[in-house]
Chains A and B, each alone.
Chain A
Amino acid sequence: MTTITPEIPHFTAPEAGPARPGMQTLLSAVRGRLWLGQFAVAVRAAAWATAGVMLLAAAVHATARPVPVGAVLAALGLIWSVWLARAAWQRPADRACALWADQHLGGASAFSTLLETRQGARARGHAQAVRQLENWVSARLPHSLRQLAVRRDPARLARPMLAMVVCGALATLVLTLPGPSPTPQPFAAAPAGVTAPDAALRLADAPEPAALAGEIAAALRAAPSRDAEAAGGGRRSPAAGPVRADDAIAPVRVQAGPAPAGARPADKPLPVATADAASPARAGATPAAGGGGGREAGDSADARAGTGLSRALRGTMDAQGVTLAATRPTGQRRVDSDQAASYESDDSETGRRVATAVLNQSAPAAATPQPATESTRLTPTQTSYVQAWMKASQRRP
């Protein structure tokens, strides 16, 4: 809101003396200021656009294809030309200048009103008012011109210029680098006789870690398959390795999961449960017997299928039943559950005999780490892959 300075006389004729500046003087000065403001706006917009174009060029150059510097400069020249020409073309009109002076130079709507009265015939019947208005404007003009002279409108060019400089430096740095290499070909398997130094030399153009991991996984999957084929296709799981001596006597505590791992000699009877597993109180709560904990312990399908007893009796049930349920693979236990259902009405000794006979069949034992054998060792090619993948993984943050 503008205020009226006390120096302006109320309804008095202009004082005689030196010629006062006219309205056009103020309008011209305001027009110059507004034009300057338009150029500042244009420079701001062009600077932001320049920063954007440079960032875009750097990104394209770094990722997709080399960007010629000439094309970037041409785009920048076009942008600046358009913005500056637009600012130069839009000459502030007299009305806009008068309104600006009213708003910012304490004009109290006098400049725009006087302009309207001069341009139109609307104030024909208000000659006295127009005369008073002219007097008021004449008295106000020097103050407004002084205000205009001391007025400093912030151009607000710092941020766009800074952004332009930073983006320009970045783009210059990126554009001086060579363009991106062509898309890498799928990593070919190294020849069988490649040596460690060769593999080290190939590290420079090693494929991406993800692709390398896929290759390694495929190679590792291929090795057990070859082993299984070499073993003659027995009943053992393809992942099952040779039997270790200590596997057969190890306490059976874990591996309630369905995947059998490791092997147990087919001719060796299943050992009686250890002290842990045989304890009636702990049998239902052991992770081997049940899939859950707390109240749900012992409620797994294994426990239910293995005994066929009620929950109330589980605490005092025969330890053998619990041991059987805990040690057999899932598939086998499911078979047993059917059998147990039929044995339920039999004599307990008969059932125990049948269950023991079933368990004596060759069943995979608890999982144990696969022992390193000649057949599972990596080939030199796979070794080189693994080394390259590990080094590549170490380089990554």
Chain B
Amino acid sequence: MRASRTLAVLLIVILALVLLAPIYSVVMAGLREEGRISFAWFGDVFADPLYREGILNSFYIAAATTLLTLIISIPLALISDSYDFPFKKLLLLLLNAPLILPPFVGAIGMKGMLSRNGGINELLVSWGWLQQGHTIDFLGSPFWSCVIVEALYLYPIAFLNAQAALANLDPSMIEAARDLGAGRLRSFFGVRLPLIRSGIFAGASIIFIWSFTELGTPLMVGFRRLTAVQVFDELQTTAPQGDAYALVVVLLAISVIVYALSKLVFGRPVQTITPKAGVAKIVERKTGFKALLLLIPFVIVLVAATLPHIGVMLTSVSSNGSVSLHPADWTLKHHENLIGVSETSSEIRELAVHSVENSAKYAFAATTVDLFLGFGIAWLVVRRRGRLTFMLDAMAMLPLAVPGLVLAFGYFAMTQTGGWLSRLDPISHDPTPLLVLAYSVRRLPFMVRSCAAGLEQLPEAMEEAAIDMGASWKRTLSRITLPLLAPSFLAGGVLVFSRSMLEVSDSLILAFDRSTYPMTKAIWSLAAIPSSGMESASVLGCWGMILLLATFAIASKVLGKRLGGVFRL
């Protein structure tokens, strides 16, 4: 008991240091002007029309993206909850496809497909629906481009949350409503929606905060009047001034308010009484024409969601600057360039190859750190419930509410204040420790949730039985707890690793030297090369996708049916 309390306190202190210290650094940097505390920087920020516009645009993008993800995902969740139809399992798995490609790479693919000389226009021309020279620029509005690209990346979060909330709903609640004469609509709005509201808001708040502070997508789309991009630009030019920090604090403040509102006001779960013997859910089986009708929304979403992936692949094999759907026009020369088969710039080659190595190294280290931290935290939270471990749980979940950009900027700020932390300064030193720290802190919630879910499934009596049989806690851990939790470790590990491999905001902000670039920053850097930059960037994006697909395939082989749980939050 005492040992676990000490461990809990220790973990809380560690989390406080790695989470709260960077936030503190940013806030202090935003508040300090010539050694004094002042709100001058905030005054500057709100006085500047460009910054004001940036904040408003960020807010609009986040609101529109969140709304769009809900519009996409709730109907799909409702259909999959109530009906069974052919290919349902495959479709549900494919719905997760967006998660293997970060949206800023997806944006390149979208450009390849939807721009004036993109694949879709080529298709429409070849069908005779459009004339050459009168093609449509589907991406005319950078604002909506960002919203669509981000929503197509983020909808699985909303879908999985809605699906989980619906699955947890006791079907007899709905049956009772129907039994008392409520129609389909009334039982949906009167009973089902209020009961799944908290689940939906949990997903929606994560999506809002994510898109509110997203940096990669607007950078790629070329939408510069956003707070996240303005902060990043500040970092690129000179040593950031106080106004950059103040902007980050504004982002943080709005995120925290949104998160708190969604948790405290809209997201409060309804207190339910769980009956001992639940009623089995009746899922209607549909076949034939009706099944086809149910398939349509899934197919539409899937086509839209895989458009960026296809676009990235096609861009990486495009030959003359325009994406073509004809295999005859495809070329492997960009791939060859990056692997180094052909004789081109060794600089590009080194950047690409090194970035893959770097990302693998950072992601592997972060996964290892999270395995230890995540299991320790989850065990305490599940097995030693109390005020202390409740706090620990809340701390471990905090990275979900703190935007990656804020945390990354915070780590940067910490190293700029002098003292021993300046030895971690990513500008002049190896950024590995800082990147591993940032990756692992940001992905910690996934690992904690995965382990906690596993532990909750594992009755404590399993461990007690071993202790009762005379096993020491070490033996109990190694022979009972860890073997039984292996699937949770793998699921959590795969998620942490894959998310870290293609992590964006920390990578863009904390890697300064080309030799230390992770894949995402290399993609960003390649895309900026005037000739064939997009193609090279797409090649690297392709590799990333293939790598993650392979990871998921291996994990699914081991985990079997439980792979779906990998994505659940």
A, B in one complex? no
**A interface residues (Cβ-Cβ under 8 A, vs B):** none
**B interface residues (Cβ-Cβ under 8 A, vs A):** none
